[in-house]
Amino acid sequence: MYNNATPGPSPRIRKVKGRVEINIQQCKGCSLCITECKEHALTLSQEINKKGYRYAIAHNELCTGCVNCALVCPDAVISVYRTKVQKTSPASPQNIEQP
Ligand code: SF4
Ligand code: SF4
């Protein structure tokens, strides 16, 4: 019998979080990094840089730190930083947010 309390598939838990920094003034908007990012964490800007190119923008909340974007960037303008995600303890009455 189905029970609402039965746990479903657990959400994907990441052990590592990524953060990307892009030197936007050196970016030539070739989009190679955007194509390579499987997490869809990179997009092209609407604005242009001082060279006249739209440039890559990072959405770091989606980044896993896989480094693929940095490896394909022909101008090496991407830096990737990886941090370990801290384990959090299960919710207890002390750390449950009240409405
Ligand atoms: S490090 Fe990986 S996940 Fe993060 S932006 Fe680059 S390709 Fe995407
Ligand atoms: S691969 Fe490099 S030069 Fe090309 S859009 Fe991405 S950051 Fe810019």
Cβ atoms of residues 45 and 56 within 8 Å: yes
Q: How far is the CA of 90 from the centre of ligand 1 (A)?
A: 29
**Which residue's alpha carbon is nearest to atom 8 within ligand 1?**
37
Q: How far apart are CA 53 and CA 45, in angstroms?
A: 9
Q: How far is the CA of 75 from the centre of ligand 1 (A)?
A: 16
Q: Per the structure, how many domains does the chain have?
A: 1
Is residue 92 assigned to a domain? no
Q: Across-strand partners of 84?
A: 16
Q: How far apart are CA 4 and CA 76, in angstroms?
A: 50
Q: What is the pTM of this model?
A: 0.78
Place of tokens 């207890």: 92
Is residue 4 assigned to a domain? no
Q: How far is the CA of 32 from the centre of ligand 2 (A)?
A: 6
The finding on whether 66 has its CB within 6 A of some atom of ligand 1 is: yes
Q: Which amino acid is at 86?
A: Q
Ligand nearest to the CA of 33: 2
- Give per-residue pLDDT as tens, 40-82: 999 999 999 999 999 999 999 999 999 999 999 999 999 999 9
- Give per-residue pLDDT as tens, 20-29: 999 999 999 9
CATH (domain of 39): 3.30.70.20
